[in-house]
Amino acid sequence: DVKVTQSSRYLVKRTGEKVFLECVQDMDHENMFWYRQDPGLGLRLIYFSYDVKMKEKGDIPEGYSVSREKKERFSLILESASTNQTSMYLCASSTGGASGANVLTFGAGSRLTVL
Amino acid sequence: GQNIDQPTEMTATEGAIVQINCTYQTSGFNGLFWYQQHAGEAPTFLSYNVLDGLEEKGRFSSFLSRSKGYSYLLLKELQMKDSASYLCAVRDSNYQLIWGAGTKLIIKP
The mean per-residue pLDDT over the stretch B83-98 comes to 93
A23 close contact with B: CB closer than 8 A: no
A109 close contact with B: CB closer than 8 A: yes
pLDDT at B1: 75
Partners of A66 in beta bridges: A76
Q: Is the pLDDT of residue A96 over 60?
A: yes
Partners of B63 in beta bridges: B54, B72
Size of interface A-B (CB pairs under 8 A): 44
pLDDT at B95: 85
Nearest to B87 by CA among B98, B69, B105, B99: B99
Cα A64 to chain center, whole Å?
A: 10
pLDDT tens digit sequence for B23-64:
999 989 999 999 999 998 999 999 999 999 999 999 999 999
A84 by Cβ neighbours in 10 Å (0-12 / 13-18 / 19+) ranks as exposed
Best of A103, A105, A110, A111 to mutate (most B CBs within 10 Å, chain B): A103
pLDDT band at A2 (very low <50, low <70, confident <90, very high): low
What's the rounded Cα separation, in Å, for the pair A96 and A31?
Answer: 6
Q: CA torsion angle for B47, B29, A107, B11 (degrees, to 10)? A: -50
- Please indicate whether, in this complex, the C-beta atoms of B42 and A40 are within 8 angstroms of each other: no
Nearest to A35 by CA among A59, A14, A63, A69: A59
A104 close contact with B: CB closer than 8 A: yes
From A81's Cα to the closest Cα of chain B, the distance in A is 23
pLDDT tens digit sequence for A15-62:
999 999 999 999 999 999 999 999 989 899 999 999 998 999 999 999
Best of B8, B35, B99 to mutate (most A CBs within 10 Å, chain A): B99
